[in-house]
Every structure is written in C-alpha cells, then in structure tokens.
Structure 1
Amino acid sequence: MLRTEVRPEQARTIINYVRSPDLPFDRSLNPYRGCEHGCIYCFARPTHAYMGLSPGLDFETKLTARRNAPEVLARELSAKRYSVAPLAIGTNTDPYQPVERDEGVMRACLEVLRDFRHPVAIVTKGTLIERDLDILAPMAAEGLLRVGISVTSLDPDLSRRMEPRCPAPARRLATIRALVGAAIPVRVMASPLVPALTDPELEHILEAGADAGATSASYIMLRLPREVADLWQTWLEEHYPDRAKRVMGHVRDMHGGEVYSAKWFHRMKGEGVYAELIAQRFRRVTRALGLDEAQPALRCDLFRVPPREGDQLKLF
C-alpha cells in the first residue's frame, strides 16, 4: 500500500496568473502540489520535476500542502491594485484529493473567497466537495460559483486502473446529483478523452451526466506533455497491450505525427480527421441532451474586502 508524505510549504504568493489564450480564465489557485488520485494521464505530473521529485510515484505520494494559502489569499485579494475576475481551482491538481480531508486547505480558501464574495470555478473528481456544501450553496445562490466534475469513464475497472485512487464513476455521478440538489450549476467533463479506450463512451458519459442534473458539458483529449508520454505508454502496454498501437496511432494523428503538441488552440482538442469526428460527436450529443449551453457567467460586482478586526466601520 502506498504511503503518502505531506510536507508543508509557506507560499509567498498563491494566485497564479496565466496568459494562455486558449484558457477561459486568467488566474488560478492550487492548495496542493502533487495529487494522491494517481491518474496516470495527468498532464500536471511534470511540475513535480521542478522540485527535484519524480513525475511518477513521487507526484502521487510526496505532496506539498500550502497551509498558509488562506492567509496569503486574503492578503492578495485585499491589495488596492487587485482587480477581480473568476478564480479557477483544480486546473492543475485536485483540491479535493484525499489529503484535503485532514489538511483542510481548500475549505479554508473557500471561506476566504466567500467572505470576499469572490467568484470561483472549481474542477474536481473528488467527492469530498460535498463536505463544503454549506459554503458552496450560498455562493452559488449569489452567482459566485460553478463546478465541473470530471467523469473519465463509466467502466469501474478501467477507472480503477487509470485513476487508482479516485472515487468510482458512479460515486462521481452521485456528487453531481448532490451539487445540483443544492442548486449549484455543474458541468460534466469527459476529460481526458482517450482515443480508442474511453472515446467510445463519450455519449454515455454525457447522458449519465445529464441524467444526474448537469446542465453543460465539455471534453479535452488526452494530453501527454514531457514525462507523461513515457509513463502513459508504459501503463498502456501493461494494461491494454491489444489497444496500445491503435490508441497511440490516433494520438499521433491528432498532433501532426508527434505524441504531443503544445500549440495554442490545438493542445486541448487536437487536429485532423479523428479530432474532428470527436468534435462532431460531442456537438451532436450535447445538442440532443441540452448540454450545449455555457455555464452562467460568474458575478464580479459583489466583490468587497471584508472589514478586519479593529477597522473603523463606515457610518454611511
């Protein structure tokens, strides 16, 4: 059984500003470095190499908890130069991975965002998000929150092999129901979609998400940057040797003969005949299911810096 090591980090800054033109947000926050879920395809694995750790087993077992993140976040949001815009959480590592149960960094950050009435978009595979409905539901009611739940496969065996410490697919669908029941807008995410392995499930995943109450949908094709390519291909040969050649053939077809291309507006969906066939299938099923509408825009006009103890309150 794998043992998880958690090391604290004193973050100097916590809001990460991104300038990628193909992303729908310009800032993100990561409570943790590394992720216990252990998804073999995770495009964030190479970030562990920056710390002198392996993108393989170290990424899954040697985690960093940014325990002062709430304090740093409050400081950055209070800065006079700060200009509010939706903050994305979960775009790199999952904020609701198992370690959050003990560490509570994500919940503490949510409390800060709630107090500042700051808009936030969360992406997760973790069912622990249900713990925070007491914070999330009131934020959603004010138009400050939306959530994306990733459902990579409906096959519990495939999911267990590919995402060994993630909640089972049926449990994630139950989380969608719980969030929708709290009037939280939820997007079902068929991400990543793996050619010739999970892409045959695309329509079924979206149907299951719609049945659970999701009101919008998205997908991203498998991405294999840097060390992830070798890790993925080793895993694929071990678990699905009969499909490995076909899977990788489609991957290369979508990236001009390469395993991966980081080109803007290309890296997420790929190019070519196969990529277009997937896009057509997605458009057709989302129209049929009523999932083709974007999630509601988040409100930025409610933002305010809450008074601190000792501050003089305004009379008018």
Structure 2
Amino acid sequence: MTVESTDIRIGGRRQVVRVVLLVCIAAIALVNVSPVLWGVATSVRPPEEIFTFPPSLFGSGVTTEHYAQVFSGTFARNLLNSLLYSTVATLTAVIIGAVAAYAFDRFRFPMRRPLFGVIVACIPLSMGAAVLVIPNYLYFATLGLLDTPVILPLLYLGYNLPMAVWILKGAMEGIPVELDEAAKIDGASRLRTFASVILPLCKPSMAAASLFVFIGSWNEFVAGSVMVNSSEYRPVQVAVYQFISAFGRQWGPLTASAMLALLPVLLLVVFFGRHLVAGMMRGAVKG
C-alpha cells in the first residue's frame, strides 16, 4: 500500500466523521429550534386553526390578535419589571462579584479557601432556588418586604452572585501579579490598580458573568410567583403563566407571551453569546 493511498483513506475517513458530526449537530439544532418555531407559528395563527388536524406549521393566515390580547393587560409592565429587576441584579452582581473575586485572588486572609468553597457550593442556588422559597418567604415577611419592588432584585442577586464571583475569580487568576506590582511601583493605589488594570483585562469574563446573571434572573419563576402577588410588581415569567388556568390553556396568548418573554434572552445569546465562551475560557487558563 502506497503512502498516497493511505493518505486518501485517512482523508476519506475524516470526511465521513465530519459529515456524521454535521448531521448530529443539525439534528440537535432541529430538536431545540422546533418548539420555538412552533410557538411562533401558533402565536400568529387564527384561533380557529390552532387545533386543526393534521397540524401544519403554516396556517392559512397571520393574525396579531393574540399579541393584542397579551398587551391589553399588564404584560407590558411585567416585561419592563423583569427587565428592571434583571438589570439591577446583573449590575450589582458584577460589581460585588468583581470586588470579591479580586479580594479572594490577591489578598491572603484567614479562612480564604473555605469561604471561597462556600461560594462555589452556593452556585446551584441559581438552578435550585425552589428549595429556599419557604425560609426566604419567612425572612422577607419578617422584614416587611413581601410584594414590594425590591424583593426580587435582592433574591436574583443572592441566587446568581456566586456564579459571578466564580467566573471573575477564574479570570483574575490568569492575570499576572506582576501587573499589580508594576502599578504599585508607578504609585497606583489598590483601588486604582483594580479599576485601571484588572477590570479592563476582565472585560470578556465580566460580559460572561453579566449574561449568566441576567439570563438566570430573567428566567426565574418560583420566587416571582411566591414573593409577589400584585400584578404591578409581577415579573414576566409569572405573567406568562397567567394564561394557564383551571379552565384550560389559552394557547394563542400563551405562546405569544412566551415568545415575547423569550425574545430578550434570544437576542442576548445571538449577539453576545460568544462572550460566554470567551469569558469562561479566559478564566479557565492561567498565565
């Protein structure tokens, strides 16, 4: 067997592997995108065609009456509520997370490693916040903060802050300490070094942390449904659930509101999704 024929066989195998990978990726993408496409189609479909059989992706016409029904209530206010809550939680988490990450990485103080271990152990809070609903409810009821506009940003901050600290500390571990020493020689204070040297180098990781915190806050449902009763302070995820009742589901308004609630997250992932990978990779490699 000649070297040329061996190279041809190896090249053929690589092509087969690439085709198989592309087919698998396309299948996974189709499975994930199909519900979204179906939701979009249902949200603009006339009510009489929603339950037609056999089902079809494209109906005979397009209507905006489901979106008009959604916006006839308090949904627009709920959408703005979630935007405000998530933005406040994100900005606060990134600021506090950056300061905490700098302290954990650059300072040596008693119980530093155990405390950081506690922070890492609290990361699942953003995914398992339902476990803390009862103690949080009792605590905030004692403080008189239930059904107020400040309770959800506080909870979102508490749930997602550990993730921000972990991401930013990983990024700062990759920044040489020599930069701090050089800034100190030039007369810069710790605060000036942090603001002018460390933070600019952590921009990709700060963007990644912001996306994680914002998406985690935006998608939170349990705390919003328990801690807030007034429609005035209700977040968007709870507002979507209002179209599900004991008498059935209003599929048109339900899918329309769900698509509106999905849109901000989708736009963030499409335009800034690369920062998720860049920020995580920057924090994963030292030096």
Pair in the same fold by TM > 0.5: no
Give the strand-richer structure, 1 or 2.
Answer: 1
Give the helix-richer structure, 1 or 2.
Answer: 2
With the length of structure 2 as denominator, give the TM-score of the two structures: 0.26
Tell which has more relative contact order, 1 or 2 (C-alpha 8 A, sep 6+).
2
With the length of structure 1 as denominator, give the TM-score of the two structures: 0.24
